[in-house]
Structure 1
Amino acid sequence: MLTELSIRDFAIIEHVSVNFKEGLTVLTGETGAGKSIIIDAIQLLSGGRGSVEFVRHGTKKAEIEGLFTIEDDHPIYQKGEEFGVEIAEDGMVVLHRTITHQGKSICRVNGKLVTLGILREFGHSLIDIHSQHETQSLMDPDRHIELLDLFSDQELIHTQEEYRNVYDKYRAMVKRYKELSENEQEMAQRLDLLEFQFRELQEAELVPKEDEDLSEERNKLMNYEKIYQGIHDAYNSLYGEQKGLDWLSHAMSSVESIADFDDQISKMAEELSNSYYIIEELTFQLSSQMADLEFDPERLNQIESRLNELNRLKKKYGASVEDIMEYASKIEEEIDEIQNKDSRLNKMEHEIQELGQDAVLEAKHIHDLRLQSAEKLSVSIHDELKDLYLEKASFAVDIQMKEGKEGDPVLDGKPVQLLSNGIDLVKFLITTNPGEPLKEIHKVASGGEMSRIMLALKRIFSRHQGVTSVIFDEVDTGVSGRVAQSIAEKIYGISVGSQVLCISHLPQVAAMADTHVRIEKQVDNDRTYTSVVELSDDEKADELSRMITGAEITETTLEHARELLEMAKQHKQQ
């Protein structure tokens, strides 16, 4: 959930720091006080489009920072691994965004600089903002298939993984087939280039790890004098009269002469003897190494020349000799493929047909599973709409197979187009008036009906989308009375499973709040300031009374406000 939000020099806000709690938090206040500005700030924090207009007049930058606490199984951990952002075990994520007066945007996740796109990836995993003015994923037909799949069970996920494996192989094979068959001139030029490269690599006669071995040998030759002097000094320190081995031998003899008198001394004598013979053997090795050392300037020149040649090849073909040899093997296969293009194309056509039909079988399984999920989703949506006094509304999920063209894989005698998520086109359809045909959901006109439809869908999908915080910005516009009460109960219902922040002008929604925050605007020295105040129980009643009348608070409206609060309390206890 969003635990703390800090906003500085943003629009009319000089500095505001707000602590948010679990459950439903409702933000109320006079029009223009800055309620939507706070939501705008959260939207920017989740990767929304910025503008210099957001920077408070007379300042150089606007800063927004949000602290989120997440559970151990939250999908944002995968985002962290994907983008190299460390997320601590305490489950805290800090999103930060700065917008300068020059229009530059600086984004950070847990202190690491990231692009706006990466910030958006994290933001969308944590926050879902729904506004009456904003086109949401629920309203976008292209996102309906994704939402339907979110509503589905694990079997669909498993089947999609199997489909994707086959689909990726199919697409790669189709791409390669087109490359081989479509452009003869380009293919001939490609063959000339590959043959030149392969000849060059064959003539190089590469040996695995050759560069490493040569670099080591060059290092020895370049440091010949130091190596020789070091071995010489070590040998002379150990061998000869009054040298290391001589003294060690004397020590060994001295201890051995008294070894019979004490077991501890006997063990020391044995260890000393072993050490003597080890060092004696090392002395012989030093002597042999010194005798074998030879400085060959011609060999050094040969090594330098060969390393230069290898470095030249590395710049063209790979970071190491192994990479270059792997590249040579790869282009040898491609050369053979191009030279035997006709037979290869025939073979690929057969493979494409087989992969295509395998993919179609998996896609058909996905299609059938989606049909089952669509029926369950329709039932769930109808139940939600009834609670929102849209009992005569009809909702359906339209699933059509994407029609293919000649040459595409065939299902039931008809070509179908394979897509990354199957062969289906999914649309949510609805009608709110009996006798009227079902229409695409984004074409439903009534503002009040749209608010309720969107809330019903949001309630269903909020259980499956995994977001930490759901934010509603005046989604209750255009409703009143019993519908307003039903909307209030639905919004509260969503807050049971997710943190919900809601800007509302409805007293019914405000009464449901676990936390009620009032946004206030003051003018001081000809500057406008916004403040955020968490209301006590008595202050909640006063605020609801003001929302009811829009003017003076009376005893009647206060009594009505207290009644709303009591009704809300009873609903929560059910």
Structure 2
Amino acid sequence: MLIELSIRHFAIIEELTVQFEKGLTVLTGETGAGKSIIIDAIGLLLGGRGSSEFVRYGEKRAEIEGLFIVGDTHPGIKKAIEYGIDVQDSMFILRRNITSQGKTICRVNGKLVTLAILREIGQALVDIHGQHEHQTLMHAEQHISMLDGFAQNKLSSALIEYQGLFRRARQLQKQLLSLSKNEQEMAQKIDLFQYQLQEIEQANLQPNEDHLLSQERHKLAHSEKLFSHLQDGYSSLYGEGRGLDFLSTTVSHLEEATTIDEELKDLFESVSNSYYLLEEAAFTLRDRVEQIEFDPSRLEFIESRLHDIQRLKRKYGSTVDEILEHAAVVEEELDSIIHKDDRISKLQEEIDGLWKDLLVEAKGLTEIRKQAAIELTDAIHKQLRSLYMEKTTFDVRVLEKSTSKYSPTIDGKVIPFSHDGIDLIEFYLSTNPGEPMKPLSKVASGGEISRIMLAIKSIFSNQQGVTSVIFDEVDTGVSGRVAQAIAEKIHGISLGSQVLCITHLPQVAAMADSHLYIQKAEENKRVKTSVKILTTEEKITEIARMISGVEITDLTLEHAKELLELAEKLKQPV
């Protein structure tokens, strides 16, 4: 659950820290006070799309931080471990900063992460349901993700298997399309590849040749200076009156000294060893001096060779090794084109086999979805009855997608493969007895959509394992006994998950375990949002305001008390 949320310099919020409790927490307040802004901040903390417009005017950055506590087996912990994020005591601290230039910095438990990782972990912690989500019900292409989410335990492994085969088939299709291009283009490619390969092969390049030649050129270009230094070094060591001559005398004196003082033996051996090491070094210097020769023709050859290599680098790679790699790729492509008929035949055979395997996997997905559709339909009917939609008939239909030009033909039938199978899932609805079932988008009103979405959320909240569910004014377009039913439904969800709910319905507010009042005030000619935890008496006053709209009367106060008393009775376990 979300334990604490801190917001700084975000929209009209200067600085705000809110602590949340278990169960149902409602946020109420006048329009424009900042209720939805708090939910927007949570959305950004969970990886939502950011913008510099969220930064409070005159500030350098907006800062959002949230503390979450989850169960020991929560899937978010597994995701965090996969990304090398340390999780202690099942706690998550999510932090996101957005600068006035629009840059974003994300951290999970102190570790810098990408926005994608923040989003992946955040979505495992909180499910935010806002008014815009009603629109997902109005688009049939979104329904398959809802059904798959409902059936994820049975469907997940089969869908992963199918998608792996589908990606492979599409990859091979692209290769086949590339090989099947017109003959003129293929002939041009053959000429180009043959020219490139011939040019590289004629150069007879050796691995790392450019680096080795550059080193040799450097030595040849400075051979006179190298000769001078080595010769002077040798002369300083070897010869009469030179370094080794003096050191030899020192060794002789120390040898005589050890006959008098045995404690000088170690010093004698050290100097003696140094003498022999230096003598060996002098002989090495002499040999190197004798090996040095200035070879203008060799230097000229190296310069020419490096020039040729540089010319090839401009075409095929920044190093000799990259040029050789390019040659290997070109040779493989050339062989593929020259023998393209054989390659096309093999590819087509492999693709045909994959399509048949895919069809088996797709039919398996369809069977799982059909069974899940029956179960989801039954579950939604139960939820709708508790929301006073008992005369509504709901149906999850598993249909076949329409074909496209890329759809293959198997045994004379065109199969509409796509990333998620061959199925089209669509929700159908009949709101009154005797009326035919029609696509939900064509018959549902705003209030009905709200209740259907709430029914789906009630089902999914028990399956998805999220620690918190947030409802942002999902009670739009309802009133009366329906409003009371929605209030009871939202409270029912809060028994299994922490629920935060922005509402304008007094019935929902009355069911709250914790009531936060959002208000704004002008301070130093700037608007500032604050949050207050309401006492029981303050709850009564706020609910009365929600009932009356403007003027609070004794009657509305009594009505508010009755709502709270009714809510307390409803919340008692049966």
Task: Summarize the Cα distance change of 1:135–1:455 in structure 2 as closer, same or farther, 3 Å threshold.
Answer: closer
Contact 1:470 1:501 in 2 (8 A): yes
Counterpart for residue 383 of structure 2:
384
Task: Summarize the Cα distance change of 1:333–1:540 in structure 2 as closer, same or farther, 3 Å threshold.
Answer: same
SS at match of 1:66: strand
Q: CA deviation at 1:6?
A: 2.0
Which whole-Å CA distance do the structure 2 matches of 1:196 and 1:246 have between them?
Answer: 68
Q: CA deviation at 1:194?
A: 2.2
Q: CA deviation at 1:524?
A: 6.0
**Counterpart of 2:194 in structure 1: which amino acid?**
E
Which whole-Å CA distance do the structure 2 matches of 1:415 and 1:47 have between them?
Answer: 40
Which whole-Å CA distance do the structure 2 matches of 1:255 and 1:508 have between them?
Answer: 109
Task: Summarize the Cα distance change of 1:152–1:284 in structure 2 as closer, same or farther, 3 Å threshold.
Answer: farther
Q: CA deviation at 1:197?
A: 2.0
Which whole-Å CA distance do the structure 2 matches of 1:521 and 1:406 have between them?
Answer: 57
Is residue 313 of structure 1 aligned with residue 315 of structure 2? no
Counterpart for residue 552 of structure 1:
552
Once the two structures are superposed, the pairs formed by residues 483-498 of structure 1 within 5 Å of their partners are: 483-495=482-494, 498=497
Task: Summarize the Cα distance change of 1:179–1:501 in structure 2 as closer, same or farther, 3 Å threshold.
Answer: same
Deviates further, 434-443 or 499-508? 434-443
String of CA shifts for 1:7-44, please: whole Å, max 9, x gaps: 5372xx25242324354432101234332344455556
Q: CA deviation at 1:430?
A: 3.4
Counterpart for residue 351 of structure 1:
350
Is residue 442 of structure 1 aligned with residue 444 of structure 2? no
SS at match of 1:178: helix
Counterpart for residue 66 of structure 1:
64
SS at match of 1:74: helix
Q: CA deviation at 1:412?
A: 6.9
Counterpart for residue 30 of structure 1:
30
Deviates further, 325-334 or 395-404? 395-404
Contact 2:488 2:511 in 1 (8 A): yes
Which whole-Å CA distance do the structure 2 matches of 1:274 and 1:381 have between them?
Answer: 94
Q: CA deviation at 1:74?
A: 2.5
Once the two structures are superposed, the pairs formed by residues 167-316 of structure 1 within 5 Å of their partners are: 167-221=166-220, 243=244, 246=248, 284-316=283-315
Is residue 8 of structure 1 aligned with residue 24 of structure 2? no
**Counterpart of 2:95 in structure 1: which amino acid?**
V
Task: Summarize the Cα distance change of 1:236–1:517 in structure 2 as closer, same or farther, 3 Å threshold.
Answer: farther
Task: Summarize the Cα distance change of 1:191–1:552 in structure 2 as closer, same or farther, 3 Å threshold.
Answer: same
SS at match of 2:521: strand
The alignment-based identity, stated in percent, is 47
Counterpart for residue 338 of structure 1:
337
Which whole-Å CA distance do the structure 1 matches of 2:448 and 2:481 have between them?
Answer: 14
Task: Summarize the Cα distance change of 1:395–1:203 in structure 2 as closer, same or farther, 3 Å threshold.
Answer: farther
**Counterpart of 2:521 in structure 1: which amino acid?**
Q
Counterpart for residue 570 of structure 1:
572
Task: Summarize the Cα distance change of 1:132–1:308 in structure 2 as closer, same or farther, 3 Å threshold.
Answer: same
Which whole-Å CA distance do the structure 2 matches of 1:425 and 1:137 have between them?
Answer: 15
String of CA shifts for 1:389-425, please: whole Å, max 9, x gaps: 4344433332223354799545575220221222222
Counterpart for residue 105 of structure 2:
108
String of CA shifts for 1:187-240, please: whole Å, max 9, x gaps: 333333222222222222222222333344345446657766776677677767
Task: Summarize the Cα distance change of 1:253–1:293 in structure 2 as closer, same or farther, 3 Å threshold.
Answer: farther
Which whole-Å CA distance do the structure 2 matches of 1:252 and 1:327 have between them?
Answer: 66
Question: Where does the alignment leave 5 or more consecutive residues of structure 2 unmatched?
Answer: none
SS at match of 2:180: helix
Q: CA deviation at 1:488?
A: 2.8
Contact 1:6 1:16 in 2 (8 A): yes
Contact 2:97 2:104 in 1 (8 A): yes
TM-score (norm 2): 0.78
Question: Where does the alignment leave 5 or more consecutive residues of structure 1 unmatched?
Answer: none
Which whole-Å CA distance do the structure 2 matches of 1:512 and 1:234 have between them?
Answer: 95
**Counterpart of 2:98 in structure 1: which amino acid?**
R
Task: Summarize the Cα distance change of 1:359–1:503 in structure 2 as closer, same or farther, 3 Å threshold.
Answer: same
Root-mean-square deviation (CA, aligned residues, Å) is 4.6
Is residue 132 of structure 1 aligned with residue 146 of structure 2? no
Q: CA deviation at 1:140?
A: 3.4
Contact 2:220 2:299 in 1 (8 A): yes
Which whole-Å CA distance do the structure 2 matches of 1:269 and 1:435 have between them?
Answer: 117
Counterpart for residue 508 of structure 2:
509
Deviates further, 471-480 or 292-301? 292-301
**Counterpart of 2:25 in structure 1: which amino acid?**
T
Which whole-Å CA distance do the structure 1 matches of 2:440 and 2:299 have between them?
Answer: 77
Task: Summarize the Cα distance change of 1:424–1:559 in structure 2 as closer, same or farther, 3 Å threshold.
Answer: closer
Deviates further, 546-555 or 141-150? 546-555
Q: CA deviation at 1:283?
A: 5.7
Contact 1:238 1:245 in 2 (8 A): no
TM-score (norm 1): 0.78
**Counterpart of 1:92 in structure 2: which amino acid?**
I
Q: CA deviation at 1:136?
A: 4.7
